[in-house]
């Protein structure tokens, strides 16, 4: 029986895993520095949460969800995104009574049955932030800045473009969609099948469809049809981005693929690949849609698989080097080295040791395969003298030292420096 992994899923290991670890380390750091609390929500939820939350006319809900009946006959769905689940958790755990704003971040897998493409998987990873209780444009700024800082910390910002738009509030959107419907009334028959469906169910999505561009040339755009409040908010977002020297582009075609957004929306897009690595915006009606009292909210998610793909292109290595690999000749030497290793680890020295009882040469070969920076040889002579020979594998300098973890840590530092 040849069992292989499911289409659209990945095994992540070695170099790729090192990249993911680095990205996740930076995410944790940036979120901590912005005082955001981590939240973990379930991988599966009641199917209805996403139908109601993400929108039952969206591609995600109509075509892409992994929905199944559990053994109790309930309809469950593997999360296609986190926002709806986080809102459900916000309501179920009474977060509204916590100090406002409530600021949460998450990182985990999400599931969409999509056509396979570069950077598109059926199981993928998302990091995101959701901020509840802030009606001001300041929340959009906080969200954009956090995303930008994560992307910057791993050296990606100059490969990306920040695109922003405003899709208005319920009020201005109502007026706008009437205008759009009127404009498209006698043109829709000549447009693509998806847009025909959207005309009936989700007219805003016609804006970001890449078909029928000729017809769309003079189409009214929501960005030019905002009410005073939405216009002001968008101006504030832009002027704050300017003051922070964050480059952005206004893209009137960004309306986002999920139904819950209003006012500011944004995406981080790869300049070379024209692929979104992240997106988000304001969603002031979702908490109410899911049964809560009206609550302002803003958030975003970044796709870690796509980010890792771009990190790989930078050809930087985030490999963690083994600081010290013990090469031992017998059980007595193993005992001494193992005890020493435990003490070195307490001093944050990454330490490894032969557990296969291999020959001296085989141990040396392994040390170079795992890129050990130093080897610590404990052989017959060293055992007799109560010392260790430490050799730097990069510059070949070597010294003997007492079997004392602190001394060995200093020796390692010294030998590493010699190669600089």
Distances (CA, A) of 55 to 59, 61, 134, 180, 411: 9, 7, 23, 20, 61
Q: CB-wise, 298 or 393, nearer to ligand HAM?
A: 298
What sign for the dihedral angle of Cα 139, 143, 148, 149?
positive
Task: Candidates 117-125, 185-193, 246-254, 309-317: pick the segment binding ligand HAM (CB under 6 A).
Answer: 117-125
**Among 124, 199, 266, 326, contact with ligand HAM (rule: CB under 6 A):** 124
Q: CB-wise, 148 or 391, nearer to ligand HAM?
A: 148
CA-closest candidate to residue 312, choices 111, 119, 110: 119
Question: What would you report as the CA-atom Rg of the chain, rounded to the nearest whole angstrom?
Answer: 28
Does 276 contact ligand HAM by CB under 6 A?
yes
Q: CB-wise, 64 or 212, nearer to ligand HAM?
A: 64
CA-closest candidate to residue 323, choices 303, 345, 294: 345
Query: Interface residues for ligand HAM in 125-184 (CB under 6 A)?
Result: 126, 128, 130
Q: CB-wise, 57 or 257, nearer to ligand HAM?
A: 257
Does 300 contact ligand HAM by CB under 6 A?
yes
For the chain, first and last CA: distance in Å?
52
Q: CB-wise, 108 or 257, nearer to ligand HAM?
A: 257
**Among 299, 310, 336, 383, contact with ligand HAM (rule: CB under 6 A):** 299
Measured CA to CA, the distance from residue 333 to residue 417 in angstroms comes to 28
- Shortest Cβ contact with ligand HAM: which residue? 303
Q: Are 125 and 107 in contact (CB under 8 A)?
A: yes
Q: Which residues pair with 237 in a beta bridge?
A: none
Alpha helix ranges (H) inside 64-188: 83-92, 137-153, 170-184
Measured CA to CA, the distance from residue 47 to residue 67 in angstroms comes to 7
Task: Candidates 19-27, 119-127, 159-167, 192-200: pick the segment binding ligand HAM (CB under 6 A).
Answer: 119-127
Distance of closest approach, residue 17 Cβ to ligand HAM, in angstroms: 17
Q: CB-wise, 267 or 323, nearer to ligand HAM?
A: 267
**What's the maximum distance between 2 C-alpha atoms anywhere in the chain?**
95
Q: CB-wise, 55 or 278, nearer to ligand HAM?
A: 278
Alpha helix ranges (H) inside 223-303: 228-243, 286-289
DSSP characters for 345-366?
HHTT--EEE--S---HHHHHHH
Task: Candidates 239-247, 275-283, 323-331, 390-398: pick the segment binding ligand HAM (CB under 6 A).
Answer: 275-283
Measured CA to CA, the distance from residue 122 to residue 417 in angstroms comes to 46
Q: Are 128 and 82 in contact (CB under 8 A)?
A: yes
Q: CB-wise, 122 or 173, nearer to ligand HAM?
A: 122
Does 301 contact ligand HAM by CB under 6 A?
yes
Task: Candidates 186-194, 295-303, 337-345, 365-373: pick the segment binding ligand HAM (CB under 6 A).
Answer: 295-303
Distance of closest approach, residue 239 Cβ to ligand HAM, in angstroms: 23
Distance of closest approach, residue 312 Cβ to ligand HAM, in angstroms: 15
Task: Candidates 154-162, 180-188, 274-282, 356-364: pick the segment binding ligand HAM (CB under 6 A).
Answer: 274-282
Q: How many residues bind ligand HAM (CB under 6 A)?
A: 26
Q: CB-wise, 128 or 341, nearer to ligand HAM?
A: 128
Interior CA angle at 13 toward 12 and 15, to 5°? 115
Q: CB-wise, 82 or 325, nearer to ligand HAM?
A: 82
Measured CA to CA, the distance from residue 54 to residue 235 in angstroms comes to 27
Query: Interface residues for ligand HAM in 204-263 (CB under 6 A)?
Result: 257-258
> Between 73 and 112, how does the x/- string for binding to ligand HAM read (CB under 6 A)?
--------xxx----------------------------x
Measured CA to CA, the distance from residue 135 to residue 86 in angstroms comes to 18
Beta strand 387-392 pairing with 398-402: antiparallel
Q: CB-wise, 198 or 391, nearer to ligand HAM?
A: 198
Question: What residues make contact with ligand HAM under the rule CB under 6 A?
Answer: 81-83, 112, 114, 119-121, 124, 126, 128, 130, 257-258, 276-280, 283, 299-301, 303, 305-306
């Amino acid at each position: 029986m040849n069992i292989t992994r499911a289409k659209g899923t990945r095994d992540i290991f070695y170099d790729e895993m090192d990249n993911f670890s680095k990205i996740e380390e930076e995410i944790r750091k940036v979120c901590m520095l912005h005082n955001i609390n981590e939240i973990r929500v379930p991988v599966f939820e009641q199917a209805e949460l996403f139908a109601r939350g993400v929108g039952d006319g969206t591609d995600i809900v109509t075509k892409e969800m992994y929905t199944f009946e559990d053994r109790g006959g309930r309809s469950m769905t593997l999360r296609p995104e986190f926002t709806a689940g986080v809102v459900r958790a916000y309501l179920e755990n009474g977060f509204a009574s916590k100090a406002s704003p409530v600021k949460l971040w998450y990182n985990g897998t999400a599931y969409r049955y999509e056509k396979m493409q570069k950077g598109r998987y059926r199981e993928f990873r998302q990091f995101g932030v959701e901020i509840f209780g802030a009606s001001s444009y300041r929340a959009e700024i906080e969200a954009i800045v956090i995303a930008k800082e994560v992307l910057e910390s791993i050296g990606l910002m100059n490969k990306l473009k920040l695109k922003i738009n405003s899709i208005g509030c319920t009020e201005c959107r109502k007026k706008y969609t009437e205008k759009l419907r009127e404009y498209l009334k006698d043109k829709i028959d000549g447009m693509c099948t998806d847009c025909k469906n959207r005309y009936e169910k989700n007219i805003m999505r016609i804006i970001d469809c890449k078909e029928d561009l000729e017809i769309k040339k003079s189409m009214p755009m929501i960005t030019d049809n905002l009410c005073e409040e939405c216009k002001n908010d968008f101006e504030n977002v832009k002027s704050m981005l300017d003051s922070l020297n964050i480059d952005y582009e206004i893209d009137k075609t960004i309306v986002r693929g999920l139904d819950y957004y209003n006012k500011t929306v944004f995406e981080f897009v790869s300049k070379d690949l024209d692929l979104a690595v992240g997106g988000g915006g304001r969603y002031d009606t979702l908490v109410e849609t899911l049964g809560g009292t009206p609550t302002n909210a803003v958030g975003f998610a970044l796709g870690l698989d796509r980010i890792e793909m771009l990190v790989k292109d930078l050809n930087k290595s985030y490999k963690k080097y083994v600081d010290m690999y013990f090469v031992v000749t017998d059980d007595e030497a193993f005992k001494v080295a193992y005890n020493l290793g435990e003490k070195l680890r307490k001093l944050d020295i990454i330490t490894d040791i032969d557990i296969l009882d291999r020959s001296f040469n085989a141990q040396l070969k392994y040390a170079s395969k795992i890129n050990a920076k130093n080897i610590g040889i404990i052989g017959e002579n060293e055992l007799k003298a109560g010392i260790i020979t430490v050799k730097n594998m990069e510059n070949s300098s070597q010294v003997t030292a007492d079997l004392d973890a602190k001394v060995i840590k200093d020796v390692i530092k010294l030998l590493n420096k010699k190669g600089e």
